[in-house]
A and B are shown apart, each in its own frame.
Chain A
């Protein structure tokens, strides 16, 4: 079975600083990888996804992620944090029959002014 590990349940950055949220996955087949964002008491919104092709994927709100097969990683970055980026972020991998998503435990991003 596939699994997803997000290193750091809480990450704190200053406004304007680099955001780096880490995601590692285990998969025996080429993975389809996703990053979602969740604001308090709301559903999840897709930030970006990797399926095939270019390994550097650009998403909404200035976020991007790079698929590194050799490191089994799909880390999320943003060059300059904004206060509105404060939320919880989930990395997920699509798994087999039924196109189910397996999620990491999530990382809460705090942005300090």
Chain B
């Protein structure tokens, strides 16, 4: 079974450029979560998506950040006009269709490390 896949693993951007981070969930999982981990900080929730729907984006910065999970293809986290403060590790997690309490676990990808110069 392939786990959650994220690419690229490392991404370097200059200030003002756009960053696109991709996440392919575990096969059969229909729910995707994005988290950000700043140096010396814990994982912070950003956005929760189902296919073609944003369920909860309460952790997403109001400007420059957007996310989608289309019917076909990976989930994309897009950061426009990046700034140095966007440098962090971005993790994607997925979970299966809910079938009771045993499916509350989230499965994480290896992360994308974004460096803004």
- A and B co-occur in one complex: no
